[in-house]
């Protein structure tokens, strides 16, 4: 390292530039920041030269000064750490830095740079000692700002997508619920809540096909409320509706989970009893009559039909059960008259 005072050293470097036209042109017109930092014997660093691009950012007051003279302490120390690393390794290093500096008005500014620093040796007494660091720094502040803006935009888009996805999922859940409600309305009797006739007939055909496929039994119960017309005539249709709902609830309460209850029309109900023969069906009919009396205070008549080889549809089963129901009602009427 030379013993010349800082100003003389600066002048010597300036004179060297002036002596080489091509280097001078490069120094003055290179668009990126170029600088020369002197490595002091006490481990500090002093800016010895800076090209116009660098001076436009930090000003001429940086020349002959340590970084701390024109940068906040934290930024200066971060850069010093890089300088010390370069000196210790005695090899060029590249890095990206985020640094703050004071502009010509003393206001603190921030920026991002991609920097390359190269160790130089200019000591006659010790050719291996690093005396200077030459640096080139590309200002990428606008690129970082653009990236930050893009990141914020992407985050906003992601938030919007998440919101729209949540809204869509909510709409799909609402639609699924609505479809379920519509399906329920399409298959259920609005008054009693059990299956309507159209759906119980479809279920009946399904159970017949299943019984034939697996060789299992199937029975059908046709149920009618006794003296229901009298309830409507004497107490009104609202009372009749209430009786129908109570009877439907009592029937459902007495059935197995696999049994299927449907309102066949008026005060008639049809029940499908999968895997039930005639004996099981009669036992179920008796249980239903008892529950109707206990829970609904209503007497019901029941007709029973069990699947036969010649039954090709629910109609034939239901017709036989209906005949049995009429016979049961006639018997019930004779008993009541007697």
How would you classify the pairing of strands 268-274 and 33-39?
unpaired
How many C-beta atoms lie closer than 10 Å to residue 275's C-beta? 16
Please identify which of the residues 189, 224, 259, 267 carries the catalytic annotation.
267
In the sheet with 108-120, reading across from the earlier edge strand, the strands are 45-50, 33-39, 132-139, 108-120, 93-102
- DSSP state letters, 198-226: HHHHHHHHHHHHHHHHHT--EEEEEEEET
Task: Please tell me the distance from the alpha carbon of residue 118 to that of residue 107, in angstroms, as a whole number.
Answer: 30
Q: Quick one: which H or E segment has residue 139?
A: strand 132-139
Structure-block tokens of residue 222: 């046709």
Task: Please tell me the distance from the alpha carbon of residue 12 to that of residue 1, in angstroms, as a whole number.
Answer: 13
Q: For residue 56, which phi and psi values (nearest 5 degrees)? A: -65, -25
Task: Please tell me the distance from the alpha carbon of residue 133 to that of residue 47, in angstroms, as a whole number.
Answer: 10
Q: Is 267 a catalytic residue?
A: yes
Task: Please tell me the distance from the alpha carbon of residue 294 to that of residue 253, in angstroms, as a whole number.
Answer: 12
Q: Which residues are catalytic?
A: 267
């Amino acid at each position: 390292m030379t013993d010349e005072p800082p100003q003389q050293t600066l002048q010597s470097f300036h004179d060297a530039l002036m002596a080489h036209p091509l280097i001078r042109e490069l120094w003055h017109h290179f668009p990126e920041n170029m600088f020369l930092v002197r490595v002091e014997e006490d481990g500090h660093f002093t800016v010895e030269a800076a090209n116009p691009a660098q001076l436009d950012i930090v000003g001429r007051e940086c020349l002959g000064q340590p970084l701390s003279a024109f940068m906040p302490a934290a930024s200066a120390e971060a850069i010093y750490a890089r300088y010390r690393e370069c000196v210790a390794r005695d090899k060029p290093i590249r890095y990206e830095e985020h640094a703050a500096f004071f502009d010509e008005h003393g206001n603190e500014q921030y920026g991002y740079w991609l920097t390359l620093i190269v160790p130089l040796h200019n000591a006659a007494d010790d050719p291996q000692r690093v005396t200077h660091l030459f640096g080139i720094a590309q200002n990428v502040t606008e690129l970082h700002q653009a990236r930050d803006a893009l990141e914020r935009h992407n985050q906003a888009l992601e938030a919007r997508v998440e919101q729209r996805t949540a809204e869509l999922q909510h709409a799909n859940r609402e639609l699924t619920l609505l479809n379920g409600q519509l399906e329920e309305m399409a298959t259920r009797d609005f008054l009693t809540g059990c299956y309507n006739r159209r759906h119980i007939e479809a279920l009946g055909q399904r159970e017949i096909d299943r019984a034939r496929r697996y060789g299992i039994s199937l029975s059908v119960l046709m149920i009618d409320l006794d003296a229901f017309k009298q309830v409507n005539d004497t107490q009104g249709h609202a009372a009749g509706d209430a009786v129908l709902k109570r009877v439907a609830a009592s029937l459902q309460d007495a059935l197995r989970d696999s049994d299927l209850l449907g309102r066949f029309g008026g005060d008639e109900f049809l029940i499908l009893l999968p895997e039930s023969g005639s004996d099981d069906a009669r036992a179920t009919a008796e249980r239903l009559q008892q529950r109707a009396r206990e829970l609904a205070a209503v007497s019901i008549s029941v007709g029973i039909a069990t699947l036969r080889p010649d039954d090709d549809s629910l109609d034939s089963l239901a017709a036989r059960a209906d005949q049995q129901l009429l016979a049961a009602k006639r018997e019930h009427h004779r008993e009541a008259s007697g």
